Structure 1
């Protein structure tokens, strides 16, 4: 489903100052991969390469049948609809309700029929436990509730892949656990999930696979347990 073939990524004008260097990686459907590493190790860049928000400087990335060196411009939105993205800072629209935030992605991609949108929004808000708060605005929700709303927004297209960039970084332990439980339910339902994080304890306890980056290189790729045997 996701494959990196000798991927290098540099933001420098002169190539050689690599953010990611010679990354070779395959993620199979249904995996729950925690990507560990210090700030600047390349975790966020790796996730951006999956959605082609960034392109590799060298090598190729393949996601859901789309290759970075062959994909046409018009196909990029199709790829991104297969990848839900959750950010550390939520990125909710402040003057829209939670329902409106979740519906926004559907409306931006041309799904305007009210009944279709309403049913899709209800489905994802039930899945993240926020249906009862659907008419609230982001500032009326706790940090954990805002993050769950952000997860709901990422799920609106029913993507097979979910990318979470430090999803619990701004949350206390209890609230972070609640957010992780939502991700685990999605994983049990078959979603492939990649989580960029500093949290080694959660990675050890929850992941099927732990990937550690250091200065742009993979220094550890550890399969912790087979699919379906996660410790919750």
Structure 2
């Protein structure tokens, strides 16, 4: 696959409630690259990801994600950007009143899929990709934490994103399950999808090596290998 710059931040500032979260931050990500964003709780890791899917505005600097200028995003364009991203949350955010299949079907229909046969086929593909092909009829509460997170990753894959943003995806999981989830994200990356994963679990970073970027003192910088 052609090696292209997927994300470029240059001199970016992110503020929340008049507090500067990140200042003069610069960062670039190539297509198909895996990056850990590490740092203490409150260092700005989650805010960085939220700025990429336009939940938090970028107050100054330049920020390009794919062909979108994040500093000049129109509200009507945000859903189209988000369709090109897969977002994995720490707390899953699955709809608890419906089965796994119905959770995934809801996302596809909300993003413009209409044909029943194509919806069914795509759901089967992503469930197989995350090793959950036999769990489609389960309700979220019937699944373990690790299984729920696999479903969340399947949901993130539905629209074949160029980039997955994984915000502390192992925060609620035991060490063994955490390793399995990180390995799954690495496997997905190997197939060409870029991944940005925030974490403060340095054991995972050590066991599943990749590029490391650190949030510290409102700054963002690569950590030497």
Unaligned runs of 5+ in 2: 1-5
Give 1:54's match in structure 2, choosing from 50, 53, 56.
56
Instruction: Using the TM superposition, give the Cα deviation of residue 223 of structure 1 relative to its aligned residue in structure 2, in angstroms.
Output: 5.6
> In 1, distance between residues paired with 2:222 and 2:128?
35
Aligned residue for 1:132, secondary structure, equals coil
1:208 is matched with 210
> In 1, distance between residues paired with 2:182 and 2:16?
32
> In 1, distance between residues paired with 2:209 and 2:81?
25
2:14 is matched with 9
Give 1:23's match in structure 2, choosing from 8, 22, 25.
25
Q: Is the 8 A contact 1:208 1:223 kept in 2?
A: no
Instruction: Using the TM superposition, give the Cα deviation of residue 119 of structure 1 relative to its aligned residue in structure 2, in angstroms.
Output: 0.7
Q: Does 1:131 align with 2:133?
A: yes
2:163 is matched with 161
Paired residues, number: 220
> In 2, distance between residues paired with 1:150 and 1:186?
14
> In 1, distance between residues paired with 2:118 and 2:156?
17
TM-score, normalisation: structure 1: 0.91
**Could you list the runs of 4 or more consecutive aligned residues of structure 1 that deviate by over 4 angstroms after TM superposition?**
none
> In 2, distance between residues paired with 1:111 and 1:91?
21
Instruction: Using the TM superposition, give the Cα deviation of residue 204 of structure 1 relative to its aligned residue in structure 2, in angstroms.
Output: 2.9
Unaligned runs of 5+ in 1: 225-232
> In 2, distance between residues paired with 1:110 and 1:146?
24
Give 1:42's match in structure 2, choosing from 33, 37, 44.
44
Aligned residue for 1:57, secondary structure, equals strand
TM-score, normalisation: structure 2: 0.93
> In 2, distance between residues paired with 1:101 and 1:216?
37
